[in-house]
Every structure is written in structure tokens, then in C-alpha cells.
Amino acid sequence: MKSLLKNLVKSSFHWKQTLHIKDKLQKDWVTYEPDLIPPLALMRQEGISVLEEWFRWAEEWSMFLRVYGGITNNSAVLEIGCGLGRTAFPLRYILSADGSYDGFEICQNKIKFLEQTFHKAYPNFRFIWANIHNTFYNPDGEIRASDYRFPYADDSFDIVYAASVFTHLLPEIAAHYFQETARVLKPEGRCLFSFFLLDNYQPGKPRPLGFNRPDFNFDYQYGSYGSDFALVKPDNPEYMTAYSLRLLEQFATQAGLEFVQAPVTGLWSGSASSWVGAQDLVILKKSK
């Protein structure tokens, strides 16, 4: 690479152009399709401060979808709150042209990035912006999440998943999203949703790694949910939220979804000696 750069400089390239080429060589070293990796400024908006968080989380969800979701290369998949396409990124290795990925998201700049990059490279990966209100991610949003109809036909997906999205939603919205998920899932279709389960939260207990911060102190109750729901910042309720399993079982039953197995415990709470992913994973299917 050094000699290539030297030659480029020698052949009287403008230095800025040379830097651009050097940048590109470094980007190519990071991934096979560097254009699908968002710029740092966008990453930071998603709370990603180290590139490792992009790849590690992506692979974690690819594994969840293969092991617990039963994804195949011709599955029809929906992601709620697709962010910058971090979990779509590894799915390009799984879904063939006969499969499809749809994602919707409430931050317009994230969808703009995905339309200009991912969708152009993989037309069967489609992204939709919905200007839904969220106190943390989209405080100026005009649509109430609890009124939002997912823009897809009934019975159209094999899998619906949400990676760290219910961790930023209030209970009324979560209940509605369970209903909408059941509507758009095919019978027997699966959903994988990650949560911070209050059943695993032990106030005051030191938590591992980055979770050992006040950002994960679920110490405030909300509305009439008592000990079944908690949040971290009462002045910004959707900053971070946590649910009891009991409340999720209610939402599931009301929506016509059933638990496939017990939740898969995550690392975050530090309450388990064995864990699979970072957050707790709930696996449901649409009742027949």
C-alpha cells in the first residue's frame, strides 16, 4: 500500500486526492462493502462509539435470527426500528434475491443513508421512514406511535424482529406494536424482540462492562404499571425502558402471539452466569 501511495504522489496527484484514495484503501480494509458502513457522525447518533459495536451487534442478531428465528435464504423479514441497517448488514449474506428485508425507522437521516447505499446495492432490502414521535429519538415526530399502522399487508412476513427498540418504548406503544406485529406476521411466523427484563434487574448490583452506568438504572415507575414497567429518566421517558415478563405475556396474549420458549437471558443485568446476547431476547410466534 505504501509504494502505491508513493507512486500516486509522484504522478503529481493533488494531495487532497491522494488522501481520498488513502482513506478508501483504509475503508476497504474494514469491510467488503465500505459504503454500507455509516459515517462516524451518524453512528454516534445511534450510540455507537466504537466500530466493534457495529460488527459485534450485527453478528449477534444474525445468529439470533438463524438459531431462534429460523431464517432461510427466501424468508420475508421485517425489522421494526432498523436504525442505520446494522442488523440488515449481515443479512445480505443470508437473504437471496428470493428473500426480502423490510425495515422502518423514525429518524429520517438514517433512512436517507440506507436508501442511498444499502437499497441501491440490494434492491430487495427496502427502508421506510415514519415520522413517529419518541421522546429520545424523535421528539419532533408528528405521528403517535400507538396510532401507527405498520405499512405492510396482513400475513406478509415470516419473521418480525426489533433489536433494542422496545428498550425505548412506553407500554401503550409496545402493546400496540405487538398487535401490529401479529397482524403482519404469517400464521406460525416468529418474532424476536429484545428487552431489558425487570425480572433480571437487581438494583444496586454491579453490572458488567458498559452496562455498569446509571443509564441502566431502572428506578422509576410510570403510569399505572407498578412494578411491571420502569424507566431511567422521568423527564425523557423513552430514553431507556424495561418490562416485566408478566406484562409482556399479557401483551402477547392480547395480540394473538405465544411464547415459543422462555426468554434467552442477556449479559446486561449481570444476573446470569450464562448468557447469549447483550439484552434479554423474547421469542414469540403467531398463534394459528
Ligand X SMILES: C[S@@+](CC[C@H](N)C(=O)[O-])C[C@H]1O[C@@H](n2cnc3c(N)ncnc32)[C@H](O)[C@@H]1O
Q: Which stretch binds ligand X (CB under 6 A): 10-18, 101-109, 150-158, 254-262?
A: 101-109
The CA-atom distances, in angstroms, between 88 and each of 1, 2, 44, 122, 246 are: 31, 34, 18, 11, 30
Closest approach of Cβ 3 to ligand X, in Å?
Answer: 39
Closest by CA to 113, choosing from 100, 127, 95, is 127
Q: Which stretch binds ligand X (CB under 6 A): 24-32, 159-167, 185-193, 265-273?
A: 159-167
Our CB check for ligand X shows the closer of 50 and 97 to be: 50
105 near ligand X, judged by CB under 6 A? yes
Report yes or no: 268 and 257 within 8 Å, Cβ to Cβ. no
Which of 65, 68, 69, 86 forms a contact with ligand X (CB under 6 A)?
86
36 near ligand X, judged by CB under 6 A? no
Our CB check for ligand X shows the closer of 145 and 282 to be: 145
Closest approach of Cβ 194 to ligand X, in Å?
Answer: 9
Residue nearest to ligand X (CB): 83
Q: SS3 letters for 50-66?
A: CHHHHHHHHHHHHHHHH
Kindly write out the interface string for residues 164-193 of this chain, putting x where it contacts ligand X by CB under 6 A and - elsewhere: xx--xx---x--------------------
Our CB check for ligand X shows the closer of 105 and 158 to be: 105
Closest approach of Cβ 170 to ligand X, in Å?
Answer: 9
Closest by CA to 256, choosing from 163, 181, 194, 195, is 181
Our CB check for ligand X shows the closer of 131 and 212 to be: 131
Which of 38, 69, 83, 266 forms a contact with ligand X (CB under 6 A)?
83
- Residues near ligand X (CB under 6 A): 46, 80-83, 86-87, 105-107, 132, 134, 137, 145, 163-165, 168-169, 173
